[in-house]
């Protein structure tokens, strides 16, 4: 047995203990009871916070809509086509670990309603969060629905539909959903929570799932990635595509609140001045002001960058 196989086997055993059999006590409570209580109670929690802090801002309402409807969507999904895994019973220790993880997901709602987070997110941030949320909900519910009915019809390796290019579209959907919450809040703490959960909960489950899938018929011809959709048969093409998306996402997250009117956008005016000054290239000048140029680009929202660029080119030419 290879070292990798041994490590993965030990990881699977540890994960099974933590999720289902962590002492004390016998297995007595179904996982979905714990999950559904948190999901359903989330919109109540958020509404109570809005009332307590008297916060009826745009950011508060948008967050309430996103996280609240996600919880209700989860309840409906569990009632209509439940995941067999979440119907298993766990011990008190495992239930307590799950509860602690779920409590951390209430943090961004508290930050938003208590006005720690930005209560007036930009249009670009709202659009990005909503797109992530809609795509995430679509992937999560669609993938779970497909998996549920295929397993009822006999099971086997699922390599079509939502699972054609990614082996875990449901996890990808969950990650997009919680990314939308982090985007609308604009707080680094929730990103840290997301990354921690993804690495300690999602990743082990995906690795364990791959071990199981590898034993099924058709695995050797299943051309897909573990998480991100395989958009091209070339690994290099996929690397370029996702690297570009990651860079644009970072530009969005670090953006400042530029005015929608190009003439009022201070960072673009500074960039225009700099580029006109460099009509005659000068390495010394370019080196001197490189940080200023990078700063200007870093201040531009993702969805406004194309329009600003076009307007700038028109005025410059």
pLDDT band, residue 46 (cuts 50/70/90): very high
Query: How does pLDDT run across 192-235, given as a tens digit for each residue?
Result: 999 998 988 888 889 888 888 888 888 888 889 999 999 888 88
Our CA angle for 240, 243, 244, nearest 5°, is: 85
Single out the residue of 120, 118, 133, 110 nearest to residue 187, CA to CA. 118
Q: For residues 101 and 94, what is the distance between their CA atoms, to the nearest angstrom?
A: 11
Which residues fall within 8 angstroms of residue 288, CB to CB, at 6 or more apart? Answer: none
Looking at domain 3-234, which CATH architecture does it have? Up-down Bundle (1.20)
Taking only the tens place, the pLDDT of each residue in 185-200 is: 888 888 999 999 898 8
- Between 161-165, 245-249, 251-255, the lowest mean confidence (pLDDT) is in 251-255
Specify the residue for token string 């699922």: 158
The pLDDT value recorded for residue 186 is 84
Burial class (CB in 10 A: 0-12, 13-18, 19+), 306: exposed
Q: Give how far the C-alpha of residue 73 lies from the chain's centroid of Cα atoms, to the nearest Å.
A: 17
Query: What's this model's pTM, rounded to 2 decimal places?
Result: 0.77
pLDDT at 45: 94
Segment 63-74 shows an average pLDDT of 94
Widest CA span in the chain: 77
30, β-bridge pairs: 89
What is the C-alpha to C-alpha distance for residues 165 and 143, in angstroms, rounded to an integer? 12
3 vs 280, higher pLDDT: 3
């Amino acid at each position: 047995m290879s070292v990798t196989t041994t490590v993965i086997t030990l990881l699977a055993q540890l994960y099974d203990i933590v999720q289902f059999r962590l002492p004390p006590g016998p297995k007595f409570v179904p996982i979905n009871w714990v999950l559904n209580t948190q999901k359903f109670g989330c919109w109540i929690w958020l509404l109570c916070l809005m009332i307590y802090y008297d916060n009826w801002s745009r950011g508060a309402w948008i967050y309430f809509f996103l996280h609240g409807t996600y919880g209700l969507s989860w309840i409906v999904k569990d009632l209509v086509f439940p995941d067999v895994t979440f119907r298993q019973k766990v011990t008190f220790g495992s239930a307590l670990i799950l509860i602690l993880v779920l409590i951390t997901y209430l943090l961004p709602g508290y930050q938003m309603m208590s006005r720690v987070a930005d209560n007036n997110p930009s249009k670009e941030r709202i659009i990005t969060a909503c797109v992530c949320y809609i795509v995430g909900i679509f992937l999560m519910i669609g993938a779970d629905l497909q998996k549920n009915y295929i397993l009822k019809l006999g099971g086997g390796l699922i390599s079509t539909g939502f699972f054609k290019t990614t082996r875990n579209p449901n996890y990808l959907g969950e990650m997009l959903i919680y990314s939308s919450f982090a985007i609308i809040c604009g707080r680094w703490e929730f990103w840290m929570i997301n990354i921690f959960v993804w690495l300690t909960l999602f990743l082990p489950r995906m690795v364990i799932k791959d071990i199981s899938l590898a034993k099924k018929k058709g695995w050797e011809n299943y051309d897909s990635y573990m998480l991100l959709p395989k958009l091209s048969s070339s690994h290099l093409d996929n690397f370029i595509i996702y690297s570009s998306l990651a860079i644009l996402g970072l530009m969005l997250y670090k953006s400042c609140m530029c005015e929608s009117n190009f003439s009022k956008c201070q960072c673009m005016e500074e960039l225009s001045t700099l580029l006109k000054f460099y009509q005659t290239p000068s390495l010394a000048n370019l080196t001197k002001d490189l940080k200023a140029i990078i700063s200007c680009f870093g201040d531009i929202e993702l969805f406004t960058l194309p329009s600003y660029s076009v307007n700038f080119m028109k005025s410059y030419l």
